[in-house]
Amino acid sequence: MKVGIVLGLHAPFPYIAAQIASIRNQSHGDWMLLLRDDGPPAPETGRLRKEIGGDARIVYRSVRSAGFVSNFLSGLCDLPDDCDAAALSDQDDIWHPTKLARAVRALSDAPDGPALYCARRNILTAGGVTAVSRLYRHPPSFANALVENIAPGNTIVMNRAALRLARETADLGRDVFAHDWWLYQLITGVGGTVLHDPVPVLDYRQHEANLLGAGERGGRWFGNRLRVLGGAYRERLDRHCAALACLEERLTPENRALLAAFESARGRRGAPERVLAMVRLPVRRQGMLSQIGFLSAVGLNRV
């Protein structure tokens, strides 16, 4: 199974050599890497080209000011047609040697139709491994995907059917908040399969230059809650629900009805009515405290 890897690049990228080395070190050797650089010209670019060398499996393209969502979704469209699967990559992680092999094996065993693999991550700081990302209690579902993302982009690998779907709907997803959340919603929404591997498959560097952090602990957790109160979460839901509404005909009847009911619940005028309408839906976040926080935000009209 040939895996096309889309790596979103934006200077500075001090860890790119280690990232590429970890991809070259994969036990699954049938892959090609598409580097899409959406940043301004930078001195690092010359060093990157030397790092690539004459490796025909690696392609570099400059796509100025694409933005990270458009960069990844357009990258999926730019992969060669002979790719049997597609993976996404950050520019500063370290992939474990069996990352692709685990994904390929899981996708090979998946039911027919669109399938997306994702996994846990080791979270690194300058001091080394500090944590492992959450192990989710509830299975992936559209009801969960409506309100949160459990598919980190740097762990995602999709089969050919999911890649085709992502390409066909790429234009609809360009205004969403996050491409990985969108892909989770897309695959579950059409009745596809999402596989969450409980084994960490990469070392994720948590640092201030990251566009989006792990957001699960400490100051980032607190900051996320402040952003909910400020309306950021509601604005993100608005963008994702608007995109999903544009592909209603592709959603399963059950998920189409759920999306409509979710939007109706969000639009109720009074806090008790909103909370009661939301509680009646199967929509839920993964953790108990997270779900309580979600319903509190519903009451405050921040969902």
98 pLDDT above the threshold of 80: yes
133-155 tens-digit pLDDT: 999 999 999 999 999 999 999 99
pLDDT by residue (tens digit) across 41-50?
Answer: 788 888 888 8
Q: Is 75 exposed, middle or buried (0-12, 13-18, 19+ CB in 10 A)?
A: buried
In the chain the domains, ranked by start, together with CATH numbers, are 3-205 (3.90.550.10), 218-299 (no CATH)
Q: Calculate the dihedral angle through the C-alpha atoms of 211, 214, 218, 220, rounding to the nearest 10 degrees.
A: 30
Q: What is the mean pLDDT of residues 262-269?
A: 97
Does residue 246 carry a pLDDT above 70? yes
Contact 254, 282 (CB under 8 A): no
**CB of 29 within 8 A of CB of 99?**
no
Mean pLDDT of the chain: 93
Predicted confidence band of residue 53 (pLDDT cuts 50, 70, 90) = confident
Q: Is the pLDDT of residue 52 over 60?
A: yes
Helix (H) or strand (E) holding 89: strand 85-89
Structure tokens at 248: 């209603």
Give the residue, 277 or 64, on which the prediction is more confident: 277
**Model confidence over 159-179: pLDDT tens digits?**
999 999 999 999 999 999 999
What digits encode the pLDDT tens for the residues 10-25?
988 999 999 999 999 9
- Separation of alpha carbons 267 and 265, rounded Å: 5
Average pLDDT over residues 78-88: 98
Band of pLDDT at residue 34, cut at 50, 70 and 90: very high
